[in-house]
Structure 1
Amino acid sequence: MVAVDMSGWLETYRGTVSRWEVDHNDHLTVAYYFARIADAGLGVLEASGLGAEYAARGRRACVTADCYVRYSRELRVGDILHIESGVIDVEAADLVLGHKVFNSETGEVCTTVEQRVGHVELAGRAAVPLTGAQRRAAEARRVPWDGPPRERRPRPRALDGFLDSARDTVKPWELDVLGQSALPFYIHRFSAANGHAIAAFGMTPAYMRAERRGFSTFEFQLALGAPLAPGDPVRVRSAVLHVGRSSMRLLHVMTNERGGERVATLEQLGVHLDMDARRPTPLPDALREKAGAILVPVGD
């Protein structure tokens, strides 16, 4: 069940941050944001008649194709949070869902998410236009959206210069209620990849522990392709695309090594974090120089 307020927003999640969900930066790790985003998305779809029962009955479903996420405030151990969600765009075969993650104690928005879902046949993933009734049901859930605009940045044309950053195998328990790859497990792999990518220019675990520094993400642009199945061998390759005074931009590319198919990409922006002040702090010159030496050029 979801709660509805007078403005049309649905409350799609309410909970707390557990200690085991917190990363080395002492805040909620991004994969567990995505576990909650997945719940929120299902809540909106359920309210629109496109939930799990619809998928089981018709073998069609709305599956995540893209997420644009902006993290603006931290959530830490013990913090209480909730998510309010709605529909922000209705297209021929896609819906764009909007989610706001709130710190329930302060009422502040911590994160905004634009989640594009495509209406597809579960077998084969062919796009299926939404019916008129389905579009009307989605329009009834439309809410005003004031999230930050998305910036489309140039990316490398090929994988030349990318580093091997993660490799493992999909486990049976990684599937969601639709029997497909669940969002958090993509992000767990990308988080592991990020650790290897930043270590390549000196932001190693030993450096971060000794200097009380971290890497704090403030933006994700995630795109998903073909789903992964249990037993699929997965590889992630990563590149550093830009280094500023304290900020960094990386691109991670995930492939299914069984056929070499690209299954997901993540553009990640983050900052060099002072763990005590909880603020960005400049990268040391030595690290910036090392990062500059491995930058991968982007296209026009």
Structure 2
Amino acid sequence: MTSTDTPEDALLRPTPFLSSVMQIEPQWIDYNGHLNMAYYNVMFDRAIDELWLKLGIGPAYMKGRHGSTFTAECHVRYLREIHLGDPVQVSILLVAADEKRLHTFEELRHATEGWLSATSENMTIHIDMSARKTAPFPADIRARIEAVASAHAAIPRPEGIGRKIAMPSK
């Protein structure tokens, strides 16, 4: 971000959204001496909440407009151990979007060394919280999402998008 950029300008660049740098909490370390698998999801969720704020679909949206998002599907890959003291940062690519869904791909990296620890691919659905059913995003929110999706369409797709779980073929 340059000194003349607004936060919206940065969001519309053809680069993934970057979360704030996060620290591993001591209670998240399991008996194997590394980050327990559940807390990868906590960090991915915290990062996505930061992006949702930029898109206008955070807590104020829920309270004022009675809309929210739910995760419908998630696929996490654990690639390299994270340990206590490792600073981490999540990049988020908005792979695709339609009137009710957001397809994101997140990468959790060591914040100072840059190596990839885990990825999370998610399908998120928009919910009308009054009816607790899927519903289209409002037009203003949809326009903001489309602008980010368009900017992210110019980004090369990282390895791992669209993977499935299966035993190796013989």
TM-score range, shorter chain: 0.7 to 0.9
Superposed CA deviations along residues 118-138 of structure 1, whole A, max 9, x for unmatched, are: 111224421111244323211
Task: Assess if the C-alpha contact under 8 Å between 1:8 and 1:141 holds in 2.
Answer: no
SS of the equivalent of 1:13 reads coil
Distance 2:51 2:93 in 1: 6
Aligned residue in 1 for 2:57? 50
- TM-score normalised by length of structure 1: 0.47
Question: Which runs of 5 or more residues in structure 2 are unaligned?
Answer: 1-6
Distance 1:37 1:94 in 2: 18
Question: Could you tell me which amino acid in structure 1 is paired with residue 37 of structure 2?
Answer: V
Is 1:97 the equivalent of 2:110? Answer: no
Question: Could you tell me which amino acid in structure 1 is paired with residue 60 of structure 2?
Answer: E
Aligned residue in 1 for 2:89? 82
Is 1:138 the equivalent of 2:138? Answer: no
Question: Could you tell me which amino acid in structure 2 is paired with residue 66 of structure 1?
Answer: E
Question: Could you tell me which amino acid in structure 1 is paired with residue 163 of structure 2?
Answer: R
Distance 2:15 2:142 in 1: 16
Question: Could you tell me which amino acid in structure 1 is paired with residue 129 of structure 2?
Answer: L
**Alignment partner of 2:32 out of 21, 25, 28:** 25
Is 1:151 the equivalent of 2:158? Answer: no
Is 1:8 the equivalent of 2:15? Answer: yes
Query: Bigger relative contact order, structure 1 or 2, given CA contacts below 8 A and separation 6+?
Result: 2
Where has structure 1 moved over 4 Å in runs of 4 or more?
2-6
Task: Assess if the C-alpha contact under 8 Å between 1:9 and 1:141 holds in 2.
Answer: no
Change in 2 beyond 3 A, CA 1:133/1:38? same
In the TM superposition, residue 152 of structure 1 has moved relative to its aligned partner by 5.8
Alignment root-mean-square deviation, CA? 2.3
SS of the equivalent of 2:45 reads helix
Question: Could you tell me which amino acid in structure 2 is paired with residue 146 of structure 1?
Answer: P
Task: Assess if the C-alpha contact under 8 Å between 1:41 and 1:97 holds in 2.
Answer: no
Task: Assess if the C-alpha contact under 8 Å between 1:13 and 1:84 holds in 2.
Answer: no
Superposed CA deviations along residues 24-44 of structure 1, whole A, max 9, x for unmatched, are: 221111111111111111111
Mapping 1:221-232, distance limit 5 Å: none
SS of the equivalent of 1:26 reads coil
Question: Which runs of 5 or more residues in structure 1 are unaligned?
Answer: 154-241, 243-300
Task: Assess if the C-alpha contact under 8 Å between 1:112 and 1:147 holds in 2.
Answer: no
Change in 2 beyond 3 A, CA 1:98/1:89? same
Aligned residue in 2 for 1:40? 47
In the TM superposition, residue 93 of structure 1 has moved relative to its aligned partner by 0.7
Higher helix share: 2
Larger radius of gyration: 1
SS of the equivalent of 2:19 reads strand
In the TM superposition, residue 139 of structure 1 has moved relative to its aligned partner by 2.4
- TM-score normalised by length of structure 2: 0.79
In the TM superposition, residue 141 of structure 1 has moved relative to its aligned partner by 2.1
Q: Percent identity?
A: 21
Question: Could you tell me which amino acid in structure 2 is paired with residue 117 of structure 1?
Answer: T
Aligned residue in 2 for 1:295? none
In the TM superposition, residue 77 of structure 1 has moved relative to its aligned partner by 1.6
